[in-house]
Structure 1
Amino acid sequence: MKWIFFFIVLVHALIHILGFLKAFQLAEINQLTQNISKPMGIFWLIALILFLAAAIQFISNYDLWWLTGLAAVILSQVLIILFWQDAKFGTIPNIIILFVAIITFAGWSFNLDVKNEVTELLSKSSVDKKEILNEDKISHLPPVIQKWLKNSGVVGREMINTVYLKQRGQIRMKPEQESWYNSQAEQWFTVDNPAFIWKVKVDMMPLVFFIGRDKFSDGKGSMLIKILSLINIVNSSDNEKINQGTLQRFLGEIVWFPTAAVSPYIKWEQVDSVTARATMTYKGTTGSALFYFNDNGDFVKFSAMRFMGTENDSQLKEWTITLNEYKIYDGIKIPVKGEATWKLDDGDFTWYKLEIYDVKYNHRVMKE
């Protein structure tokens, strides 16, 4: 679809050369019956140049191509109105280009907001603090958690203060949905002041997508989802259900930065030889969950009673994350592939399949 739009802009751009050629009598243009002065011919040429520039910027993934595109559409449409009899059908590609430019602008604005939130998030982190996770720091933890930390390779290494990771995945919105939507996500964490920002783009079908941002900061959560980057379909923040749910999500995702297990806001209790219960409390928000491990000390499952949704009538349901593939990043073994599932009365609803494919620790600027 990207190349189709590129060719629409390109062809529309080249059509504007006709007005320039007729104005300067460089060619016989029978399709244009109205007289075009040389000054107007220059404007047709400028519109051509703007559209060509916008097309090149678009195909080159330049974030601000929409500015050039909007300028081109405005100039082009003014010319079309002035020469309506001959040029009226040029309004159709202008509408298409305008629509795509508006969507692109909305996405750019969304990404800028997220970037500012990430900058604020990282400004509160202690990335410059160098501290080693030694045996003494884990001695008070249940044996199953000590085994996990040693198996992951974090003992004797620098404490993790910030995390940046990338995910690719597949999402379903409801249990009866048979098809999966492809997704790409980025996520940022801070540990001393527990927080995360998760940004995702989900392709539902050609030309239809939604973007989203989940956030946990200062003990409070928020969720924002926009269809086509324009229309809010979810915008919830700072209520008991979303605060607890995002805290539990942070708690479950410490498996990607295991040194967070010794943080003072997390309390551990051994359940059996392969299971531990964690309770996290931060700035008035509390949540608990079970962590399951195999005999080698690898994390295999996270389970929590979590509100399914943020509405007033949302019910607590068991929410699980199962992970079954492992990789080593910066010497730390973490689970990288798995799925998230709601345990519903009429059966399991696996709504997200994920794979972590890039992780960076203790970077002040973590987005490339």
Structure 2
Amino acid sequence: MRLVLTFLIGIHGIIHLFGFLKAFGITEFNAISQPISKTNGILWLLTFILFIVTTVMLIIQSNYWWTVGLIGVIISQFLIINYWSETKFGTILNLIILVSIIVAYSTFNFGKIVNAETSRLIKNSDNSTSTVVVDSMIIELPNVVRKWLLNSGIMGKDQINSVYLEQDLQMLMKPNQKEWNKANAQQYFTTDPPAFNWSVNLKMNSFLEVVGRDKFEDGKGEMIIKLLSLIPVANSKQNEKINQATLQRYLAEIVWFPSAALSPYITWKSIDEFSAKATMEYNGTKGSGTFYFDKDGNFEKFKAMRYQDSNAIDPIEWTVIATKIEERNGINIPVACEASWKLESGNWTWLKLKINHITYNAKPLL
């Protein structure tokens, strides 16, 4: 889609160059039989330059190409109106470019909002002190949780206050969908206070993209999905079900920063030799889930009764399974996972993710 748009803008720009050449008598431009004044000829040249600059910015993947392109469209349409009888079909190209500019601006603005939210999240985090994880801090935890933390590699290291990670995703948007959609995501976590901000860009096909943002902050959750960064598909907030669902997501994802298991807002209860129930309560929102581990203390899966969305009547079983464990930054974490909902028709595995980058206690990469 980007290549097609780049080609169209480049051709559209070149056509405008002929208006300049005709105005100054350099060459004939039979598409316009009317005389073109030199003043308008300068405008035709300026539009050519603006569209060529826009084309170059698209080629180098500049996020600001739409600013130059918009000026070009405005001047181009002014010229088309002045020579309407012979140039009116250029309006179609301008409309295509204008719609692309609106989508590009919406994507830019969406990213700007997410960046501002993330900056605030990191700013509100307490990173002033570093506490080393020692044996006395895990002594009262269930045996299986202690084994997990000992195996994870966090002992003797500073507690993790903030996390930045990047994910490659495969997603099925509906239970009966056959082909996986590819996506990439960025996520930031803080542990004091507990919060996360997750943004995703999902390609539905060659023409349609969906952006989304999930957030948990101050004990409240938000979920936003937009088609082409512009058309709202879902916007859930100020809802107790979403608050609990996002809290449970945070709870499940502490396996990427295990020292968060020591947080005062999380309590643990032993179930058996290989599992323990965690309950998290923060700022009026409460949720729980069960962590399962193997004989060596590696995380295997997390299960919780969770609301699928704000319209769900009852929570249903939600499972996150680790499919690969690796050491990152000296800590053993699941770097590949699958998430499923247990529907009446059977299990719906809707998400497969791989972590390709993770950083602890670092400033956000904005």
Query: TM-score if structure 2 supplies the norm length?
Result: 0.98
The aligned amino acid for 1:58 is L
1:348 match: secondary structure? strand
Return the letter of the residue paired with 2:316.
K
| Alignment RMSD (CA, Å) | 1.0
Query: Quick one: distance in 2 between partners of 1:290 and 1:77?
Result: 61
Map 1:81-120 → 2, pairs under 5 A:
81-120=81-120
Are the counterparts in 2 of residues 225 and 235 from structure 1 also a CA contact under 8 Å?
yes
Matching residue of 2:26: 26
Q: Matches of residues 298-313 of structure 1 in structure 2 within 5 Å?
A: 298-311=298-311, 313=312
SS in structure 1 of the partner of residue 117 of structure 2:
helix
Please tell me the residue identity of whatever aligns with 2:335: V
Counterpart for residue 214 of structure 1: 214
Alpha-carbon shift at residue 3 of structure 1 (Å): 1.5
Counterpart of 2:287?
A: 287
Whole-angstrom distance in 2 between the partners of 1:315 and 1:74? 52
Partner amino acid, structure 2, of 1:197? N
Secondary structure of the 1:76 match is: helix
Aligned partners of 2:145 and 2:276 also within 8 Å: yes
Conserved 8 A contact 1:132-1:157: yes
Preserved CA contact (<8 Å) 1:292 1:302: yes
Q: Which stretch shifts more, 222-231 or 324-333?
A: 324-333
Q: Which residue of 1 aligns with 2:40?
A: 40
The residue type equivalent to 1:181 in the other structure is: N
CA distance in 1, matches of 2:57, 2:325: 39
Q: How does 1:148-163 map to 2 (within 5 A)?
A: 148-163=148-163
Deviations 1:19-67 (A, max 9, x none): 0000000012222201101010000000001001111112212111111
Give the Å deviation of 1:173. Answer: 1.5
Report the AA paired with residue 325 of structure 1.
K
1:133 equivalent in structure 2: 133
What's the offset of the Cα at 1:145? 0.7
Q: Answer whether contact 2:226 2:234 (CA < 8 A) is retained.
A: yes
Deviations 1:279-324 (A, max 9, x none): 001011110100001111110100000012111x432100000012
SS for the counterpart of 2:89 is helix
Other-structure match for 2:198: 198
Partner Cα distance (1:339, 1:253) in 2? 12
Aligned residue pairs: how many?
366
Contact 1:149–1:155 under 8 Å retained in 2: yes
Q: Deviations over 1:225-261 (max 9, x none)?
A: 1111111111111211000000000000000000000
Partner Cα separation in structure 1 for residue 139 and residue 66 of structure 2: 56
Matches within 5 A, 1:222-233: 222-233=222-233
Instruction: Map Cα deviations across residues 120-177 of structure 1 (whole Å, 9 max, x no partner).
Output: 1011112232210111111111111111111110011111000000111111122111
Q: Which letter does structure 2 place at the counterpart of 1:67? A: T
Query: 2: distance between equivalents of 1:127 and 1:359?
Result: 18
1:342 aligns with 2:310: no
The separation in 1 between residues aligned to 2:302 and 2:333, in whole angstroms, is: 14
Identify the residue that residue 333 of structure 1 maps to in structure 2: 332
3-state SS in 2 of match to 1:34 = coil
The residue type paired with residue 340 of structure 1 is A
Match of 2:352 in 1: 353
SS at match of 2:340: strand
Gap regions ≥5 residues in structure 2: none
Question: Is there any run of 5+ residues in structure 1 with no aligned partner, and where?
Answer: none
- Distance across 2 between alignment mates of 1:344 and 1:91: 50
C-alpha separation in 2, matches of 1:131 and 1:278:
22
Within-5 A mapping of 1:156-171:
156-171=156-171
**Kept in 2: contact 1:223–1:234 (CA 8 A):** yes
Matched, 1:367 2:362: no
Which residue is equivalent to 1:265?
265
1:139 counterpart SS class: coil
| Partner Cα separation in structure 2 for residue 192 and residue 240 of structure 1 | 22
Is the contact between residue 308 and residue 314 of structure 1 (CA under 8 Å) also seen in structure 2? no
Aligned residue for 2:174? 174
**Contact 1:127–1:363 under 8 Å retained in 2:** no
**What is the distance in 2 between the residues matched to 1:98 and 1:355?**
36
**Is contact 1:269–1:278 with CA below 8 Å preserved after alignment?**
yes
Q: Tell me by how many angstroms 1:327 deviates.
A: 2.0
Q: Distance in 2 between matches of 1:91 and 1:238?
A: 43
Higher mean C-alpha displacement, 254-263 vs 56-65: 56-65
Q: Given the two structures, how large is their TM-score scaled by the length of structure 1? A: 0.98
Q: Which amino acid aligns with 1:206?
A: S
Between the aligned partners of 2:185 and 2:194, the Cα distance in structure 1 is 20
